[in-house]
Chain A
Amino acid sequence: MTQSDIETAERLGRRRTQMLPAMAAIFAAQQTVFFIPADNASRLVDKVAVGGWILLSAVLVLLLWNGGAWLHSKSVRALLNDEVTRAHRGEALSLGFVLSMGVALVIYATAGIEPMQVREAIHIVVSIGVVVAAVRFTMLERRAYADA
């Protein structure tokens, strides 16, 4: 582990706190997919939009789960995802999970009053969990980098 690794990890970590909210904003903006009527969802453009939403969801979940920087060396990844970051990821994922479960329970409880398609329900549950976790992680990381 060298000074260069530490500098690289710091640069990547700071970049991550800028990239993640941008990705979360793009992800949130993609919620328009949710409002596509089912009978129009067979258009190619809608399939691409849904595919994009699924891909971005998977990338964000993976990023929050293991920290990213997949193309960098093991030592840089270890520094980038050290104890503090792992604690932040854990807290962010916990909050995202709890809110997802809360939303899922509300959807389940109100299913008799306001029926919802399975796809719509999953979309809402996943979106809430991912966005909340990404925002929380960014907040914690930015606070940690302040004054550093």
Chain B
Amino acid sequence: MPEALTNTLRAHRETRGWTQADLAERVGVSRKTINTVENGVFVPSTIIALKLAAAFGCAVEELFRLEA
């Protein structure tokens, strides 16, 4: 069964008033990575997912969700 990973990265980022560059700097990745993850083009590694969650101060499950 195909599964899709959805995320609420953009919503979390915009709530805080951060740009993609701001988030990229906090996580230590390129702006391209933030952009591709937000758009669902790229599925990040566990390490990046944990860093993103840490940057927002939330659980990874709040950022990423599997949808059947």
Contact = CB atoms under 8 A, between A and B. Distances in A.
A143 to B, nearest CB: 7
Interface in A103-139: none
Interface in B28-47: 28-33, 35-36, 39, 41-42, 44-45
B25 A3 contact: yes
A9 B25 CA distance: 12
Contact residues on B (Cβ < 8 Å of other chain), bracket: 10 to 19
A46 interface: no
Contacts of B20: 148
Contacts, number: 53
Contact residues on A (Cβ < 8 Å of other chain), bracket: 20 to 34
Given A1-B25, A2-B25, A6-B21, A13 B41 contact: no
Interface of A: 1-3, 6-7, 9-10, 13, 79-80, 82-85, 87, 143-145, 147-148
A83 B21 contact: no
Contact of B30 (A2, A80, A143): A80
Nearest to B42: A84
